[in-house]
Amino acid sequence: MTKVTLHYGLTRPLNDQDLQNIANVHSTYGVVRVQVAPSLNKLTVDYDASRLMKGDLEAELRRHGLPIA
């Protein structure tokens, strides 16, 4: 496993639906953890780079409606 941590700014604060979508992202193959900053304006994502490429991860976050910058 090649664990990678990425930090994303958000284009808007998260809402309740976004928090549900984050829970759904956890089921994506290769995603280890998605953590929301207390301010609700940043995400920290840990993933397995041997199973998921950065571009694929970002596409998956967007597919789930997350407003990553």
Query: What is the chain's alpha carbon radius of gyration, rounded to the nearest angstrom?
Result: 11
pTM of the model: 0.90
- Domain 3-63 CATH (choose: 3.40.47.40, 3.30.70.100, 1.10.40.50, 3.30.70.1060): 3.30.70.100
Judged by DSSP in three states, 64 sits in coil
User: What are the tens digits of pLDDT across the range 4-50?
Assistant: 999 999 999 899 999 999 999 999 999 999 999 998 889 999 999 99
Give the long-range contacts of residues 12-21, CB within 8 A, separation 24 or more.
12/67, 13/40, 13/41, 14/40, 14/41, 14/67, 17/65, 18/65, 18/66, 18/67, 21/64, 21/65, 21/66
